[in-house]
A = this chain, B = another copy of it.
Amino acid sequence: MNYSIVKYILGWVLRLESICMIFPLVTALIYQESSGVAFLITIAICATLGYLLSMKKPKNTSFRMRDGFATVALSWIILSIMGALPFIISGEIPLFHDALFETISGFTTTGASVVKDVDSLSKCMIFWRSFTHWIGGMGVLVFVLAILPSENRSTGNTMHLMRAESPGPSVGKLVPRIKSTAKILYGIYIAMTILLILLLIIGGMPIFDSLTMALGTAGTGGFSISSAGAGAYAPHLQIILTIFMILFGINFNLYYLLLLKKVKDFLKSEELRFYLGIIFLAIIFITFNIIDQVGDLATALLQSSFQVGSIITTTGYATTDFNLWPQFSKMILLLLMFVGACAGSTGGGFKVPRLVILIKSSFIHLRSFVHPRSVKVVKLDDKIVDKDTISSVSAYLVIYLVIMIVSVIIISFDKFDFLSNFSAVNATFNNIGPALGEAGPMSSYANFSVLSKLTLSFDMLAGRLELIPMLLLFSPSVWKRQKSSKHNV
């Protein structure tokens, strides 16, 4: 590993975090909350550390793919540890592992909380939680790439960072330069977030709620900002949130197509069609399954679409306690937890394009028994998916299942029921937030043991960074000091 460049990048990440914390600090000033001091202290620590680490520009700026991946994993861990400090210093979440869980849950856009009573948190802490969603949604390194002085970044290297942090089976560079790609992505992200904030304010939502709910929606995070949950807002606000949750689950590359006025290409995207198709079907199924329970069609449709949009995009807001829904609807939700959103969106999960690739290649396998001489090629958007991508998606599925199974087994020491354990792992690993059973939407992860919380924290990071970066941290080869500056794979 090229330690000097890693240090340099980590320094910039910390600098960025100290700047981000100015927002909750301002919130504390507005609401005159004493907890603001915790942010002041943390900003000082982050800024100092960040300055020290990134003071010296490294001479050798080359790094390998594995280093890029490990750097991203380390960045997220350091970001989370520092981000947890305000909770601990203020005493609002006093225990380290709890505060760390909450912060990782924030940055990974999970929204799983250990706070039993959200109303007990101060406004600045609530703002910080929601803001971590927004930062984590598009990615920290993507932001660093967008702002870093570019002269000492070669495209080949920074691509590793981008690839490790961006969700999906393949990374689409929108434009040849990574820096410009990062800027475009953040531009779309900021514009859509501001639009949502304005719509919510116009719709009559209080300004603080509009800001925090919009940040959580944009990042597909889902921390609830009051014990009443999203169900307390008027139906038209719930509809706005539903639409925007679904919008933020769409591949941002597609929005870039819209900016380029390639509307036809946008509409032709198979990923988009599958994504919307799954949402549509799930809404229909659940609506008819819960209609007896909730009374009328309109309410059933409102509740079903909000919850479906929230779960498939891995946001995790809830307008109702879906724990009380019939078993069938709960199974549909559990299935949506796996599916996840589109690649290149702020959502988590297994991701729609991976699913499409796997299902198509299995179908072709099946067809080969009927027509042994048929052409065996998987196509996505009329383009042939190469065999390496298919086998890497298959490997992804296996690693994904292994991590999930091991996690469920570890969590099972806690003696909760199977649905609680299984869905808790699912809801954290896929960055959703609320699970079924013990950690349902109207409950929290507070009662899980320390071991379980650490396991779930790992799962949240592994899920958000798509497995590989976190696993590479366990490889001794990654930690070996890089010898030759020219060795650059």
Contacts and interface: CB of A to CB of B under 8 A. Distances in A.
A2 to B, nearest CB: 15
A394 interface: yes
B421 A327 contact: yes
Interface in A387-418: 387, 390-392, 394-399, 402, 405, 408-409, 412-418
Contact of A370 (B364, B370, B373, B477): B477
A332 B412 CA distance: 10
A413 to B, nearest CB: 6
A91 interface: no
Given A397-B397, A478-B370, A331 B362 contact: no
A206 to B, nearest CB: 38
A472 to B, nearest CB: 6
Indicate the size class of the contact surface on chain A: 35 or more
A288 to B, nearest CB: 12
A391 B371 CA distance: 17
A69 B391 contact: no
Number of this chain's copies in the complex: 2
A387 B390 CA distance: 12
A328 B410 CA distance: 8
B366 A398 contact: no
Contact of A328 (B370, B395, B412): B412
B398 A472 contact: no
Interface in A319-353: 326-328, 330-332, 335
Given A358-B398, A398-B359, A327 B366 contact: no
A328 B362 CA distance: 33
B369 A65 contact: yes
Interface of A: 64-66, 69, 326-328, 330-332, 335, 358-359, 361-362, 364-366, 369-373, 387, 390-392, 394-399, 402, 405, 408-409, 412-419, 421-422, 436, 468, 471-472, 475, 477-478, 489
